[in-house]
């Protein structure tokens, strides 16, 4: 009994198949999210390093509207490269990576919000950096949780299949049975339907039979008329001549 109870709880390993439409759409979405966020962080880090700002200075310098220093620039480059790796790998790895970094960005925003204008503000955060961290964290969580978290996931979703293996197998069997039933019904309809040659043959046979019946009827009518014509003079000749009294 215990083993029977534990078996339904086991999950399959999630593997994306790009030939399936749902898997391909989710995989593309995860890749795009990781690539866009990684590209922005990589550009922000490179521009911060070009300004030659100190690594642990608390005043920092402005880059594309955000405050930065050397340590924040290097950290942004590292995170951007990791997101690019997730974009290349894709699938469940990219989804998990997006969610993990989304949570970390939100926590980082709360942490640096408490360290603003303090001597431990080693990343040179300002209020715009805090807001930016919150926005990037929410976006990364959205890119990672899309099609993965929810109570109304479709049955062909890879995460739904991993969480409900027995029900997924049941729906797959039902779908296979329906496809086989429709295929057999289509084959039977093709077999029952007459071919064009057969249809043409029946039409020609029917026309031939009608023509033969019409010709036979006309011949019988002509024979009857001839017989009536030959009988008429014979009856006239067989009648005795009438005599008249003097």
Quick: pLDDT tens for 120-167: 888 888 999 999 999 999 999 999 998 888 777 777 777 777 777 776
Positions of E strands within the chain: 61-63, 66-68
Enter the tokens of residue 115.
Answer: 């360290």
pTM: 0.63
Average of per-residue pLDDT across 68-92: 92
- The set of residues, in sequence order, having a beta carbon less than 8 Å from that of 239 and lying 6+ positions away, is none
57 close to 69: Cβ distance less than 8 angstroms: yes
**Cβ atoms < 10 Å from Cβ of 123:** 23
Q: Give per-residue pLDDT as tens, 205-238.
A: 555 555 566 566 666 666 666 666 555 554 444 4
Secondary element (H or E) of residue 81? helix 70-89
Instruction: Flag whether pLDDT at 85 surpasses 70.
Output: yes
pLDDT at res. 217: 63
Is 90 exceeded by the pLDDT of residue 65? no
Mean pLDDT of the 181-192 span: 73
Percent of the chain with pLDDT over 90: 29
Find the farthest-apart pair of alpha carbons in the chain and give their distance in angstroms, rounded: 172
Residue 36 has pLDDT above 60, yes or no: yes
Strand partners, 68: 61
Band (pLDDT 50/70/90 cuts) for residue 60 is confident
Does the pLDDT at position 243 exceed 70? Answer: no
Residue 5 pLDDT greater than 80, yes or no: no
More confident residue, 49 or 189: 49
Could you tell me which residues come within 8 angstroms of residue 49 by beta carbon, excluding any fewer than 6 positions away? Answer: 70, 73, 74, 77
pLDDT for the residue numbered 2: 38
């Amino acid at each position: 009994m215990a083993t029977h109870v534990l078996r339904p709880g086991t999950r399959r390993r999630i593997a994306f198949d790009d030939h399936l439409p749902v898997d391909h759409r989710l995989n593309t979405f995860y890749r795009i999210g990781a690539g866009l966020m990684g590209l922005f962080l990589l550009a922000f880090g490179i521009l911060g390093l070009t300004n030659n700002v100190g690594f642990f200075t608390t005043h920092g310098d402005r880059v594309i509207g955000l405050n930065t220093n050397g340590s924040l620039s290097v950290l942004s480059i590292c995170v951007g490269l990791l997101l690019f790796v997730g974009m290349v790998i894709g699938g469940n790895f990219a989804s998990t990576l997006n969610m993990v970094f989304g949570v970390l960005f939100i926590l980082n925003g709360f942490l640096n919000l408490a360290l603003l204008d303090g001597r431990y503000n080693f990343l040179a955060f300002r209020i715009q950096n805090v807001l930016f961290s919150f926005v990037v964290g929410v976006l990364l969580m959205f890119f990672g949780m899309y099609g993965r978290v929810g109570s109304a996931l479709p049955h062909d979703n890879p995460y739904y299949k991993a969480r409900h293996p027995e029900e997924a197998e049941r729906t797959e069997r039902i779908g296979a049975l329906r496809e086989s039933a429709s295929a057999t019904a289509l084959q039977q309809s093709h077999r029952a339907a007459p071919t064009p040659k057969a249809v043409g043959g029946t039409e020609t046979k029917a026309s031939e039979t009608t023509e033969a019946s019409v010709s036979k009827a006309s011949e019988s009518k002509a024979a009857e008329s001839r017989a009536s014509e030959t009988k008429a003079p014979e009856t006239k000749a067989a009648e005795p001549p009438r005599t008249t009294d003097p």
